[in-house]
Amino acid sequence: MTMIELMHILPALAPFILIGFAAQMVDGALGMAYGVISSTLLITMGVHPKAASAGVHAAETCTTAVSAISHIYHRNLDWKLFVRLVIPGIIGGVSGAYLLSNIDSSAVKPLVQTYLAAIGLWLLWRSTHVIHPTGNPKIVGPLGLIGGFLDASGGGGWGPVVTSNLLLQGSNPRMTIGTVNTAEFLLTLSISATFLVNLGWQAFTLATTGLLIGGVIAAPFGAYLAKRIPSNRLLFLVGTVLTLTSAYGVAKSLGVLG
C-alpha cells in the first residue's frame, strides 16, 4: 500500500482505530468489555451484527495475543485457572459462532444482562470492603463454556460472564483479569476460524482493520494498568463498567433506547 492510498483510507479507518483503542484499554485493564463496546458501536454505525461479531473476533485474535503476552510479562496469570477455563471456553465459542445464524438470542439477552448488572452492583458494594481473595474459585469450566458461547453468538460476553463470576467467587482481581484475557486469545482464534469457514472473508471489513490497529496499540497499556491498580479499585471499575454496559444492553433489548 502506497502512502497516497494510506492517506486516502485513513479518515475512514480513524473511527474504528479509536473504538479499538478505547475498547482494548478497558478490556486489558478490567478483563471485559472489548466485544461489548466494539460490537455495540459497530452495529450503531450500520455494520451487520454477524459481520460485527466476526470482525471484532478477527481483530481480537491479534489484540488478545498482544494482551496475553503483556499479562504474562507482568505476571498477572494463574496457569491452573487458565487450563480450567480455556478448553470449555473454546467449545462454547466454536458452538456459538457456528449457531449464530440459526439462533435468535434476543429473548435471552435481557435476562443475561440483568444478571450481569446485578453482579456489577454487587462488585461495586464489595469494592468498598476489605478484600480477602480465596484464590480458588470452584465453578470455572461451566463459566468458560457459557462465556465462550455468549461471546461468539452475541459479539461479547467472555469477560463480563467469566471475569465477574470468578471475582464473585473471591478470585484475586489482578490474576483473574490477566488469566481471563490470556485465555481469550485461544478463544477468539477458534471463533474467528469458525466464522471464516462459515461466512468467508467478506465478513472481515475495513472496520476489522481499524479495530485491530487501535487494539494492538492499547493492549500493552491495559496489562500494565491491571498490575498497578489496587484490588479494591479494580473491583470498583469492573463493577462500574459491567453495570453500565449491562444496563444499556437491557434498555436497548427492551426498546427503551429505540
Separation CA 52–CA 207 (nearest Å): 8
Which of 16-20, 47-51, 148-152, 156-160 is predicted with the least confidence, judged by mean pLDDT? 47-51
* 135-166 pLDDT, tens digit each: 688 889 999 998 888 777 665 678 878 888 89
Q: What angle do CA 236, 255, 101 make, to 5 degrees?
A: 90
The predicted structure's pLDDT at residue 145? 92
pTM > 0.75: no
CB atoms within 10 A of CB 197: 10
Q: What is the per-residue DSSP string for 107-166? A: TTHHHHHHHHHHHHHHHHHHTTS-----S--S--HHHHHHHHHHHHHHS--HIIIIIHHH
Q: Specify burial of residue 88 (Cβ count, 10 A radius: 0-12, 13-18, 19+).
A: buried
| Longest CA span, the chain | 56
Tell me the HSE value of 49 on the side-chain side, using a 13 A CA sphere: 14
Which of 23-27, 50-54, 173-177, 210-214 is predicted with the least confidence, judged by mean pLDDT? 50-54
Spatial CA neighbour of 160 closest among 30, 22, 2: 30
Residue partners of 120: CB distance under 8 A and separation at least 6: 164, 238, 239, 240, 241, 242, 243, 244, 246
Q: What angle do CA 178, 184, 230 make, to 5 degrees?
A: 20
List the chain domain ranges. Answer: 15-253
The predicted structure's pLDDT at residue 158? 82
The predicted structure's pLDDT at residue 89? 92
Pick the residue with more confidence: 15 or 123? 15
Which of 42-51, 60-69, 82-91, 175-184 is predicted with the least confidence, judged by mean pLDDT? 42-51
Would you say the C-alpha torsion 149, 17, 23, 189 has a positive or negative sign?
A: positive
Our separate counts of H helices and E strands in the chain read 11, 0
The band of 85, judged by pLDDT with boundaries at 50, 70 and 90, is: very high
Pick the residue with more confidence: 99 or 218? 218
The predicted structure's pLDDT at residue 202? 61
Separation CA 57–CA 205 (nearest Å): 12
